[in-house]
Chain A
Amino acid sequence: MKYSMLLILSSLAILLSACLPDPVDIVIPQAESRLVISSQMIQDQVLLVQVGRSLSALDFAPAQGEALSPELLDQILVRQARVVVAGAGQTDTLRALGAGLYLGTGITYQTGAAYQLSVYDSVSQQGVFATAEVQPAATWTDLGYTFEIFDYGIDGIDRQDTTLVLSLAFEDLPGGSYYMINAYEASLTRLENLPDFEDLAATLLAPTAQRTFPLSDALYPGQAIIRDTLRLEGFAPGDTLLMSLAQVEETYFQYLTTRARRAGSLVVELLGEPVNHPSNVVRGYGMFALYRPRIQMLVLE
């Protein structure tokens, strides 16, 4: 038995030191570069459109909080595109602000009307278009909060976790409706710094997926007023919170839910099947959406 044990142990030693072949590289065909669209409506007359370009997976690997190099920004941002919005009998050619941002102020957008966005980039000679319908504004009817404090200790060291519990209510608009709720910490809000576009485009911020909540009224059947609670980490008494509410189209809602699913769980990130974000941009990526956010401020005490 003693000899058997010795034999087993020596065999184990051989096994553990056995050689391991080098990893095999996988050659991946790369996606072609396409135009990327995103949009933001401010009030009923201002439309901001960002036009960018997609990269191959081999071009760079982003890291959170990292500043992008000017070369990479040049590769990504489309600064000289022709961007036109047309709908409800009106046409507006947007003007370039720099950093791939285009501003349109020539149209008063009508709720329920469909508008087509056309973008042509003369450098890459690529053109894309997308259509979106202007969504009615949704408004908060109630917004309150409490803090939940969770005390625990490890090896005699006291620790504390604080969770902000928001109770919210808003009127459900007629028909099957989809909503987007955003929570901003005022100090991080870029709305106050819109002119600093280059800075906005150049820095990758911490993902805010946990603070964007897509919501469908299908989950609240028969309720004229939708009431629910949200739990947010990372807020403390003294912070200022901006809560934004907007009704969105179903396609944009699907985009938001896909994003939330991907970013909402480390398990999904690690184990889930990869999933592409939906897009309503023909021959391109991103989303053209026309919605009216309504913002309410909360000073947390």
Chain B
Amino acid sequence: MDDMRRLTFGESGGETLLPLSPLKLYMMRFRLLMGLWLLALPTLSQAQQRHTLSGYVYDAASGEALTGSTVRILGTAHGTYTNTYGFFSLTLPEGRYQLASSYLGFMADTQWIDLRQPQRLEIRMEGRPSVVEEVVISAACDAYRREVASPQMSQIQLDIRQVKHLPNLGGEPDLMKVVQLLPGVAKGGEGTTSILVRGGDPDQNLILLDEAVVYNVSHLFGFFSVFNPDALKDLTVIKGGFPAQYGGRLSSVLDVTMQEGNQRDMHVKGGIGLLSSRLTVEGPIVRDRGSFSISGRRSYIDQALRVAKIRVPYYFYDLNAKANYRLSERDRLYLSFYRGDDVLYNPDLGILTDSSTSAEDAALFQDIDFGFKLGNFTSTLRWNHLFSDRLFSNTSAIFTRFDYDIRGAFAGNEIFVGSDVRDLSLKTDFGFYHSPAHTLRFGGQVIQHRFRPNVISAAGDISALLEGRETPTLPTLEAGLYVQHEWQIASPLRLHYGVRFAGAATPGKAYLGPEPRASLVYTLGEKASLKLGYARMQQYVHLVSSASVALPTDLWYPVTETVRPQVADQIAFSYSQHLESLGTLLTVESYYKRMYHLTEYREGANLLFNDRFEDELLQGEGEAYGVEFLLKRDEGRFTGWIGYTLSWSRCWFDELNGGAPFWAKYDRRHDLSLVGVYQITDRLSASAVYTYLSGPRFTPQTGQYLTPTPGFDGVEVVPIYADRNAVRLTAANRLDVSLSFRTRPGKRFQSEWTAGCYNVLNAPAPVRVHIAYTPEAGVRYTQPSFLGLVPSVGWNFEF
């Protein structure tokens, strides 16, 4: 859907990126290739006089750029869509054309253009009021036609407005939990925000917020995501067939953009949920020239329960801020920030004591002071520049930080454990819209990573027992150059192909390798198509975490002399059919992914207080394959989707499971999601989500034996476990519903009440495995549920 969004040209980097002779060789080839392309493209033009029609598409009410809106010439096959910044460019033979623009949720815009010379347009689209009666669904038709005709595969764009209207836990709309409902995307544990895409691990997802990598996407130990929906504008999920501009992760790209702010009027919006409240202020800096948006969110369960004299000393908060300013017709600046933290401060550990606790131990608990703080900070400065009507560029300077501090104190002793990762990145992307048949995108990125995986310090007498240490800072330079040609070979055949030359340099070792990407579409008329795609991805950082649980304190670690980059090759084949009479799009896609140098940890590895991660690290291979079905409807009184995934995922490591292949922990065979929003009246809507998900796998104890201790001074019990991940846990199914009622449209002050129910069937939603040891019945496993039926209520407002 969005295969022309990041239009890139790369002259950054150069030979100085990595001081390597292979890099110089690649650079020479890259330049030669670029030169040939640029020389060849003009000869592809027809002799007839051609002119470029370019411009931006905006929301007429707010002045914000509309990403991915369709711009096409009626009566012809020519068309395109806007990039992230709302820009489009079409080069056409001289003539008179009827230009149509469409975007979901907006009235279609049509105008006649007399193209005798280059023209630049500003198209402002009017929002459409809520649906009262079924209307002609032109925007969705345009979007589906474009999706059918695009070679881009495995890509889904989510409407943030839809995210807000879906049922959620505790009245907190959560972007990541909606992403989990898409085919090919599975969740980690019940109730958590982690995602596993096509058999990949959670660290294999490139999660970008205004181009900055977000290393930790969760609050409250994974139960809520860091994305405040009020602060967001768009979300694009790519599960495979990655365009060449993306690199650095194996499994998926989640590209999230923050809203720019209203260019015309001041607006305030917010919401109050059971766990947190949100407030956003946006408005013009200079009308129609620049705007800002500031959003804040904070959980207040600590404050609310204080009323009932219950002490919960935990909160999280998010702060998003963004500003943009048009410097000239050709230049625009964007500056965005995000800051979010989880904070636990001085909890009352006295609650851990009971009547059996000795006075001495109770005093110890009372005396302990413990707390932590962890969070992300990102900032992005972007400069859009239009070199010509056909050459668009964006250059970004990006800073990202993720860190955590854990501190504990008792009886005059203190312990501090910390870790952080910081990235400083420079990125440039160019897009050259030669003609409707040829678009060239290229660019580059260089990232200076600084990993400080583990810092431990102690003060007081305890420092004699716990040696303070700091893992050496690990500087890593990651760089990539890419080029991609989008080529309409013939009327039914379109090809996107390109390559990304990426590498990473770490002290003592450098890795470099090409990542070819290609996708091809063959259209069967206007409404159906067959697609084929291949992509290679490489990953230079990975997450150090226990195999059993995910903690927000998991550490990120780069490639080293001995730890090689993870690599994945993925091929996919799909069939798309626009079912116009139903207003739906059906996509069936199958994939096979082979992964190399996957990382796992030695059996029994202890990663806590351990600064020798490499000694515990193993590398192996894996594969994942499956088929995904998606039937979606994006406009009309009833919207939503049906997603189903049938998949397999397994891996093999020489030193795990005796060298035999084993199923991945999250090898979930069936994943079904039914998502629906029904607009009952213009003020009342109802929504429901039903999910069925096969259980993850685990390794249970199946037997035991007694044996003398190695010193023959006693007897001990040795457990016997099944093969790794041999047993599948219980499947889970859940139905969530919600009802929204908003004030009459047209009023200045708009508000909306949302009442919902999570797990309305009160079905078991297993979250973990509980092991019980009983003398007579041995080892018994049960799965307690995360939550049963939970009602919620929320109130949102806007003025």
Residue positions of A touching B, CB distance < 8 A: 4-5, 7-9, 11-12, 14-15, 18-26, 28-33, 36, 38, 40, 48, 50, 52-63, 66, 76, 148, 150-155, 157, 180, 182, 184, 188-191, 200-201, 203-209, 211-212, 244, 256, 258-259, 261-262, 264-265, 267-268, 271-277, 285-286
Minimum Cβ distance to chain B for residue A111 (Å): 20
- CB < 8 Å: which of B305, B704, B714, B765 contacts A54? B704
- CB < 8 Å: which of B305, B461, B546 contacts A152? B461
Q: Is B489 an interface residue (CB 8 A)?
A: no
Minimum Cβ distance to chain A for residue B683 (Å): 20
Q: Is B34 an interface residue (CB 8 A)?
A: no
- CB < 8 Å: which of A38, A76, A150, A268 contacts B465? A150
Q: Is B608 an interface residue (CB 8 A)?
A: yes
Q: Closest 3 CB pairs between A and B?
A: A205-B714, A261-B604, A31-B703
Cβ of B703: which chain A residues have Cβ within 8 Å of it? 30-33, 54-57
A15-B170, A273-B603 are contacts. A201–B360 as well, Cβ < 8 Å?
Answer: no
Residue positions of B touching A, CB distance < 8 A: 170, 272, 274, 301, 304-305, 307-308, 360, 363-364, 366-367, 410-413, 461-462, 464-465, 546-549, 601, 603-606, 608, 699-722, 724, 727, 729-730, 762-766, 769-770, 773-785, 787-793, 795
- CB < 8 Å: which of B709, B764, B781 contacts A205? B709
CA distance A264 to B795 in the complex (A): 51
Q: B461 contacts A273, CB within 8 Å?
A: no
Sampled A-B contacts (11; CB under 8 Å): A9-B304, A18-B787, A26-B730, A28-B702, A56-B704, A61-B779, A157-B360, A188-B714, A205-B713, A264-B606, A285-B707
Q: A184 contacts B713, CB within 8 Å?
A: yes
Cβ of B717: which chain A residues have Cβ within 8 Å of it? 62, 204
A28-B727, A201-B706 are contacts. A154–B791 as well, Cβ < 8 Å?
Answer: no
Q: A8 contacts B274, CB within 8 Å?
A: yes
Cβ of A31: which chain B residues have Cβ within 8 Å of it? 702-703, 720, 722
CA distance A150 to B461 in the complex (A): 8
- CB < 8 Å: which of B706, B770, B780, B791 contacts A52? B706
Q: A152 contacts B413, CB within 8 Å?
A: yes
- CB < 8 Å: which of A18, A26, A184, A268 contacts B604? A268
Minimum Cβ distance to chain A for residue B776 (Å): 7
13 extra interface residue pairs, beta carbon distance < 8 Å, beyond A272-B604, A285-B718: A11-B792, A22-B764, A26-B783, A29-B727, A151-B461, A200-B714, A207-B716, A212-B711, A272-B548, A272-B603, A273-B603, A274-B603, A286-B705
**Secondary structure of the A side of the interface?**
mixed
- CB < 8 Å: which of A21, A36, A60 contacts B707? A36
Cβ of A30: which chain B residues have Cβ within 8 Å of it? 702-703
Q: B702 contacts A61, CB within 8 Å?
A: no
In the complex formed, the residue of B with least CB distance to A53 is: B705
CA distance A63 to B413 in the complex (A): 35
- CB < 8 Å: which of A12, A259, A285 contacts B705? A285
Cβ of A5: which chain B residues have Cβ within 8 Å of it? 304, 307
Q: A274 contacts B606, CB within 8 Å?
A: no
Minimum Cβ distance to chain B for residue A26 (Å): 4
In the complex formed, the residue of B with least CB distance to A33 is: B703
Q: B783 contacts A205, CB within 8 Å?
A: no
In the complex formed, the residue of B with least CB distance to A10 is: B793
Minimum Cβ distance to chain A for residue B163 (Å): 22
A23-B782, A61-B773, A61-B775 are contacts. A9–B308 as well, Cβ < 8 Å?
Answer: yes
Cβ of B605: which chain A residues have Cβ within 8 Å of it? 261, 268, 272
- CB < 8 Å: which of B710, B730, B791 contacts A212? B710
Cβ of B721: which chain A residues have Cβ within 8 Å of it? 274-276
Q: B548 contacts A273, CB within 8 Å?
A: yes
Q: A19 contacts B789, CB within 8 Å?
A: yes
Q: B606 contacts A272, CB within 8 Å?
A: yes
Q: A57 contacts B778, CB within 8 Å?
A: yes
Minimum Cβ distance to chain A for residue B598 (Å): 15
A152-B411, A154-B410 are contacts. A61–B774 as well, Cβ < 8 Å?
Answer: yes
Q: A150 contacts B789, CB within 8 Å?
A: no
- CB < 8 Å: which of B548, B601, B708, B719 contacts A57? B719
In the complex formed, the residue of A with least CB distance to B360 is: A157
Q: A36 contacts B606, CB within 8 Å?
A: no
Max chain A C-beta neighbours (<10 A), residue from B363, B601, B704: B704
- CB < 8 Å: which of B547, B699, B784 contacts A23? B784
CA distance A256 to B461 in the complex (A): 33
Q: A211 contacts B700, CB within 8 Å?
A: no
CA distance A258 to B606 in the complex (A): 12
In the complex formed, the residue of B with least CB distance to A262 is: B604
Minimum Cβ distance to chain A for residue B772 (Å): 8
Q: B548 contacts A56, CB within 8 Å?
A: no
Minimum Cβ distance to chain A for residue B613 (Å): 15
Cβ of B713: which chain A residues have Cβ within 8 Å of it? 182, 184, 188-191, 205, 208
CA distance A30 to B304 in the complex (A): 49
Minimum Cβ distance to chain B for residue A35 (Å): 9
Q: A36 contacts B705, CB within 8 Å?
A: yes
In the complex formed, the residue of A with least CB distance to B608 is: A267
Cβ of B716: which chain A residues have Cβ within 8 Å of it? 204-205, 207-208
Q: B729 contacts A26, CB within 8 Å?
A: yes
Minimum Cβ distance to chain A for residue B793 (Å): 5
Q: A203 contacts B715, CB within 8 Å?
A: yes
Cβ of B724: which chain A residues have Cβ within 8 Å of it? 273
CA distance A191 to B770 in the complex (A): 39
Max chain B C-beta neighbours (<10 A), residue from A26, A60, A63: A26
Q: B712 contacts A154, CB within 8 Å?
A: no
CA distance A295 to B60 in the complex (A): 88
Minimum Cβ distance to chain B for residue A112 (Å): 22
Q: A15 contacts B792, CB within 8 Å?
A: yes
